[in-house]
Amino acid sequence: MQLITDIPLLDITYEISVEAISTMVVFLSCQLFHKEVLRQSISHKYLMRGPCLPYTSKLVKTLLYNFIRQEKPPPPGAHVFPQQSDGGGLLYGLASGVARLWTVFTLGGVGSKAAASPELSSPLANQSLLLLLVLANLTDASDAPNPYRQAIMSFKNTQDSSPFPSSIPHAFQINFNSLYTALCEQQTSDQATLLLYTLLHQNSNIRTYMLARTDMENLVLPILEILYHVEERNSHHVYMALIILLILTEDDGFNRSIHEVILKNITWYSERVLTEISLGSLLILVVIRTIQYNMTRTRDKYLHTNCLAALANMSAQFRSLHQYAAQRIISLFSLLSKKHNKVLEQATQSLRGSLSSNDVPLPDYAQDLNVIEEVIRMMLEIINSCLTNSLHHNPNLVYALLYKRDLFEQFRTHPSFQDIMQNIDLVISFFSSRLLQAGAELSVERVLEIIKQGVVALPKDRLKKFPELKFKYVEEEQPEEFFIPYVWSLVYNSAVGLYWNPQDIQLFTMDSD
């Protein structure tokens, strides 16, 4: 710990810092060889109490700065070690030995697996981030909370001059601007996304700072790109990206400001050329695409719930929705209604079949129907929330609603949706009658004009008020059951120059990457 925290980072000390951090990871890797989450071990004991404890905040701060700086290793031969003489000292002997070892890593020896990845251009930053995540996820001791997590939860911005409460041990300050920049730049790696999640979820100072930034697109765009390339990412990385969005959408200021940020030419979005779109509309498009992907491939209810919760949090603040985003909201509803009809038909046939045969086990269509109706209800609530709170800001959504109004017919009298359909029905019939009065063969521009004029005349008092849609992310009862295997799978796959025998690993199954 002293090597990591007290030695200044120079060409001559780079390798010894990497080795010291790697050694810490190895000390803690006993977790890999246990199926259960380790509540205590010798390593835990040394780190949680005794001489290591005063180094807690210093260690967390050093690891964070290593991540921020992304220092590349010195080129081979860039520094000359003094000849080892009687007075050379232990450090020089160690450093020269490590330098030879380092050449093996960088020239494609042991560490070539990791060195091939673009995000590993700084082994020091990579190992520091992995150690930081391992420390943050150590379980609390029976008599004391995890001090490393306490440090991560409470550090403040260097610009913040307010004193730390005496109740907060292990507190320190760090430059939030540098940290924000590094987080924006490093989101291609799982571990950087997990760090961003950890900081947003656990450190209120960081969350407040990030939500106040005027360049939120630098953070949000990389997160959307992870979700957009969902089929290339592992499910944990997708979850983390989605939960980050959910945490951000809990803030109304964020939900308003994303519609004011105008983006040009999003090259990675390939479904359609988007020459100009707001960050808010792009976020809606990517989240809807994730729902549709999930409906056809993974069918993960947890993923659905988080996607819909993020949309619901934003819905009252939808502003100037892009026509394509408005279309996608309605076409997702169309997809859900087709799925609903199909499951309903299967349930009916299955019921008929069961009446004529007693011994055939029935598939549980009732449960499928229940899930799909929950999702449809949520989509109707999202549309309703936008219509009741910001109808005058969203002519494109009204247009898409009118264009596909037949879709909503079957849900008007459905007992599960009758109440929420009242407002949608009112808006559809109000604007439909105005379009009828305007005559046939109307151009798109003319229809939008009629909608914009009609919004002023619509009697708002006839729209039924519903409670505001608000969802908050809460961690599961025992989050360590998810996070500890996840963190160690990242260490196993990404640590530079470290090897564990896959046959001995008990914590997670080794039959896949």
SS3 173: strand
User: How many Å separate Cα 170 from the centre of its chain?
Assistant: 27
pLDDT at 104 exceeding the cut of 50: no
Q: Report pLDDT for 355.
A: 62
Span 417-439, average pLDDT = 89
Q: Report pLDDT for 79.
A: 54
Torsion of CA 222, 226, 228, 231, to 10 degrees: 160
Is the pLDDT higher at 318 or at 102?
Answer: 318
Q: Report pLDDT for 78.
A: 60
pLDDT at 105 exceeding the cut of 80: no
Instruction: Return phi, psi of residue 71, to 5°.
Output: -65, 130
Task: Judge contact between 156 and 139, C-beta under 8 A.
Answer: no
Q: Report pLDDT for 3.
A: 93
Q: Report pLDDT for 455.
A: 86
- Reported as a single tens digit per residue, the pLDDT across 192-201 is 999 999 999 9
pLDDT at 187 exceeding the cut of 90: yes
Residue with tokens 């059951």: 481
186-195, 214-223, 347-356: least confident range: 347-356
Q: Report pLDDT for 229.
A: 93
Q: Report pLDDT for 296.
A: 76
6-15, 217-226, 446-455: least confident range: 446-455
- Reported as a single tens digit per residue, the pLDDT across 213-241 is 999 999 999 999 999 998 888 889 999 99
Is the pLDDT higher at 152 or at 297?
Answer: 152
Q: Which residues of 215-242 are buried (b: 16+ CB within 10 A; e: fewer)?
A: ebbebbbbbbbbbbebeebeebbbbbbb
What average pLDDT does the structure give for the chain?
86
Instruction: Return phi, psi of residue 149, to 5°.
Output: -70, -40
Q: Report pLDDT for 97.
A: 43
How large a percentage of the chain has pLDDT more than 90? 55
Q: Report pLDDT for 435.
A: 87
**What is the DSSP track for 104-169?**
HHHTTSTTHHHHTSGGGS-HHHHHHHHHHHHHHTPPPPSSS--HHHHHHHH-EETT--SPPPTT-T
- Reported as a single tens digit per residue, the pLDDT across 16-60 is 999 999 999 999 999 999 998 888 888 888 888 888 888 999 999
Span 441-469, average pLDDT = 87
Q: How confident is the model at residue 85 (pLDDT cuts 50, 70, 90)?
A: very low
pLDDT at 91 exceeding the cut of 60: no
Which among 274, 285, 186 is positioned nearest to 227, based on CA atoms? 285
Q: Report pLDDT for 360.
A: 52
Which among 412, 397, 391 is positioned nearest to 330, based on CA atoms? 397
Write out 182-242 in H/E/C secondary structure: HHHHCCCCHHHHHHHHHHHHHCHHHHHHHHCCCCCHHHHHHHHHHHHCHHHCCHHHHHHHH
Extract the tokens encoding 138: 């150590």
Is the pLDDT higher at 299 or at 280?
Answer: 280
Span 79-106, average pLDDT = 44
Extract the tokens encoding 335: 């997809």
Span 395-421, average pLDDT = 91
Is the pLDDT higher at 122 or at 163?
Answer: 122
Q: How confident is the model at residue 8 (pLDDT cuts 50, 70, 90)?
A: very high
- Reported as a single tens digit per residue, the pLDDT across 499-508 is 999 888 988 8
User: Long-range contacts for 483-488 (Cβ within 8 Å, ≥24 apart)?
Assistant: 483/137, 484/31, 484/37, 484/137, 484/139, 486/194, 486/236, 487/130, 487/133, 487/134, 487/137, 487/194, 488/29, 488/31, 488/32, 488/134
Q: Which residues of 156-175 are buried (b: 16+ CB within 10 A; e: fewer)?
A: bbeeeeeeeeeeeebbbbbe
Is the pLDDT higher at 234 or at 136?
Answer: 136
SS3 290: helix
Is the pLDDT higher at 231 or at 205?
Answer: 205
84-88, 342-346, 423-427, 495-499: least confident range: 84-88
Q: Report pLDDT for 120.
A: 64
Q: How confident is the model at residue 511 (pLDDT cuts 50, 70, 90)?
A: low
278-282, 299-303, 483-487: least confident range: 299-303
Q: Report pLDDT for 477.
A: 85
Which among 13, 18, 20 is positioned nearest to 79, based on CA atoms? 13
Span 127-148, average pLDDT = 91
Span 325-347, average pLDDT = 90
pLDDT at 89 exceeding the cut of 80: no
pLDDT at 261 exceeding the cut of 60: yes
Is the pLDDT higher at 160 or at 285?
Answer: 285
Is the pLDDT higher at 99 or at 272?
Answer: 272
- Residues 197 and 245: their CA atoms lie apart, in Å, by 10
